[in-house]
């Protein structure tokens, strides 16, 4: 790989469609597929806490994430160095014993709530994207996902959403939309979102599209 990876950051509301957009975009950039990093992999390990303490932990604040490790990994990938991405177990709120290797690629997509929150991480990004959806859509999608994938009950999801998810989004995530190069709606067809992002990338690195 002669050129450094081009980094694309996708931030936005919970269940706004960040992961789906990242997956489709990864298959659409030149030299696809792009490598993808999810911010969900970088939640801090809470194995030192009791299950009761973990249950009341605020997972929707920036401090819940190991941004220092993420930045270390992004800088390594930018220099062509592979990384070992942590694997997070949401059922226990701990990191799994193993890791997943990530190889440098021509394009790297990092997606998650707070991708645009930390200046040092923003500075690594060539294209910054913010995706939003109405509150009722975010909640409905989160209930479906957490019940299906994380063993949660609808009541517990609603309680968490009201107590931390929505307030933390308003306080920490939503303001980062100001840093985005591309702002989109998670209710638009994903192929249209991908094209909007590709248009911006073409203005930054047209030579990679020839």
DSSP-assigned beta bridge partners for residue 118: none
* CB contact at 8 A, 179 and 165: no
Q: Is residue 78 part of a domain?
A: yes
pLDDT by position in tens, the chain (length 210):
457 899 999 999 999 999 999 999 999 999 989 999 999 999 999 999 998 999 889 988 999 999 999 999 999 999 999 999 999 998 899 999 999 999 999 999 999 999 999 999 999 999 999 999 999 999 999 999 999 988 889 999 999 999 999 999 999 999 999 999 999 999 999 999 999 999 999 999 999 998
Q: Is residue 204 part of a domain?
A: no
The tens digit of pLDDT for each residue in 150-203 reads 888 999 999 999 999 999 999 999 999 999 999 999 999 999 999 999 999 999
pTM exceeding the 0.85 threshold for the entire prediction? yes
Length of the chain: 210
CB atoms within 10 A of CB 182: 18
The count of domains in the chain is 1
- Is the Cα torsion angle 186, 64, 23, 96 positive or negative in sign? negative
Q: Is residue 187 part of a domain?
A: yes
CA distance 5 to 74: 10
* CB contact at 8 A, 7 and 71: no
Q: Is residue 101 part of a domain?
A: yes
Q: Is residue 122 part of a domain?
A: yes
CA distance 109 to 29: 10
Domain assignment of residue 193, given as a range: 6-199
CATH code of the domain containing 60: 3.40.50.300
């Amino acid at each position: 790989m002669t050129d450094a990876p081009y980094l694309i950051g996708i931030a936005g509301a919970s269940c706004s469609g960040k992961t789906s957009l990242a997956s489709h975009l990864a298959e659409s950039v030149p030299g696809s597929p792009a490598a993808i990093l999810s911010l969900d992999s970088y939640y801090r390990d809470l194995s030192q806490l009791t299950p009761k303490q973990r249950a009341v932990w605020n997972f929707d604040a920036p401090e819940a994430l190991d941004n220092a490790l993420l930045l270390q990994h992004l800088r390594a990938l930018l220099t062509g160095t592979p990384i070992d991405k942590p694997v997070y177990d949401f059922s226990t709120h701990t990191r799994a014993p193993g890791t997943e290797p990530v190889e440098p690629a021509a394009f790297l997509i990092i997606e998650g709530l707070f991708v645009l929150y930390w200046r040092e991480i923003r500075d690594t990004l060539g294209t910054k994207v913010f995706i939003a959806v109405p509150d009722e859509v975010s909640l409905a999608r989160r209930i479906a996902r957490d019940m299906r994938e994380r063993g949660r009950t609808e009541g517990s999801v609603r309680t968490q959403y009201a107590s931390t998810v929505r307030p933390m989004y308003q306080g920490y995530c939503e303001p980062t939309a100001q840093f985005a190069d591309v702002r989109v709606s998670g209710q638009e067809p994903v192929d249209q979102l991908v094209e909007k992002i590709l248009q911006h990338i073409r203005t930054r690195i047209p030579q990679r599209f020839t």
